[in-house]
Amino acid sequence: MAFLPEGIERVLISENEIRTKVGELAARISLDYAGSQPLLVGLLKGSFIFLADLARALNIDSEIDFLTVSSYGNTMENSEVRILKDLAEPIQGRDVLIVEDIIDTGLTLSKILELLRGRHPRSLKVCTLLNKPSRRQTPVTVDYNGFDIEDVFVAGYGIDFAQKYRNLPQLVVVKKL
């Protein structure tokens, strides 16, 4: 068993399970985008490890860019995202695949979809490693979903808890204080 810090309650999804799932997602994406060269858009910071593994598991050409947003508010009425780091290139006419670590309320993603749709990509889809359907406040279409999970504090594999634990190779549940 790999190192687990003090604040961790248990492993939710092991390295092996993640690797298998990433392989499955990459196989589907490679088939669906055959003949295209999708632009993978990772939402920072949480997606950086998932994107790195997913991109290496694809067997098609792809390009990579990153978007960083900060969220304000946590209800549908007052949610707003501010772009902290925008994409480097225009996406008009491109096949764009947003790569997310986790979809919770869906508020961040729905704002990003609205923003990117306005830039007229040829196609715009979403791939997430984790999904918490029970927390959804606004509907979002998820084209490629790794795991549906219960409503727990999850961290590891790029995902933080108070900026810690992003480096853990597995997905873990954080202890409640």
Residues that bind ligand PRP (CB under 6 A): 43-46, 71, 100-109, 160
C-alpha span between 160 and 174 (Å, rounded)? 10
Q: Say which amino acid occupies 171.
A: L
| 148: annotated active-site residue | no
Q: Assess contact for 71 and 137: CB atoms under 8 A.
A: no
CB of 13 to ligand PRP, least distance (A): 16
For ligand PRP, the closer CB: 102 or 127: 102
For ligand PRP, the closer CB: 82 or 122: 82
CB of 19 to ligand PRP, least distance (A): 20
Catalytic residue among 53, 95, 101, 104: 104
Residue 114: its H or E element: helix 107-117
DSSP 34-103: TT---EEEEEETTTHHHHHHHHHH--S--EEEEEEEEEE-SSTTT-EEEEEE--SS--TT-EEEEEEEEE
For ligand PRP, the closer CB: 59 or 138: 138
CB of 93 to ligand PRP, least distance (A): 26
Q: Which residues are catalytic?
A: 104
